[in-house]
Structure 1
Amino acid sequence: DLLLAIPVDWNLSGDHITLKEVAERPFITFPRWVYPVYYDHLMAACVERGITLNVVQEEQTESAILALVGSGIGAALVNSANLGRPPASVRFLKLADLSLAMPLVFAYRSDNDSPMLLRFVKALTDALHGNK
């Protein structure tokens, strides 16, 4: 899912916020060509809510985006996997009005009999089906 990453010096209270409340503030995002499906999905979700982000800069990696957030350039929508490791100058807020889960798909050649690949596929299959 998504989190809102903001500079720590933005005086916003609480742990939750709506994207609409901050949409006019400066935002950092990635260029569409980096993740076109995700980008389109995200922008469509914003449009559905009547939100247009004030994008002031684009960066290709989430680490670069978070560095810019930490330097005070603006906010960003980032993967919730970052919640456990926020940069010192970044604060994460949960969004009350936007949730955007994206499926993760793995593909591999069925004729690849690499033992490492087969163990990986088994681990994924077991995890998806709740096997230990």
Structure 2
Amino acid sequence: MSPVPMTHRLWAEFPGTFWLVFGGCGSAVLAAKVVSDGTINMGIGFVGVALAFGLTVVTGAYAVGHISGGHFNPARSLGVAWYAGGDALSQVWVFILASPVGAAIASISYVFLTGDEDDAPAEAEARVGAEG
């Protein structure tokens, strides 16, 4: 089996991390929304968020794990490279670069698609200040 080219690894890690952040973190954000009367609507709940993260990791690993190893996390990439040493340490920059880029684009895509520009924390803070 021939080694996978570095460009293929880079382009595999990027969508893998995008999928993890968009599906996992997106579900966590959607799980609990503060409703206008101050109550909390749990949406998919804790189990739904856990399942969303688990399913995004599994689908990402099945989709691109054979190409890049399915790291999707710079800390995991660095730990594995540190343990393996040698060539792995010289190649870890690809995984450290691709993961934050994929995560940032997933975050921007989430805000663009949902129109949620993080107004809820400011509203909640104003409500607490008015009540307290």
- Normalising by the smaller structure, the TM-score range is under 0.3
* TM-score with structure 1 setting the length: 0.25
Normalised to the residue count of structure 2, the TM-score between the two structures is 0.25
Q: Which has the higher contact order (CA 8 A, sep 6+)?
A: 1
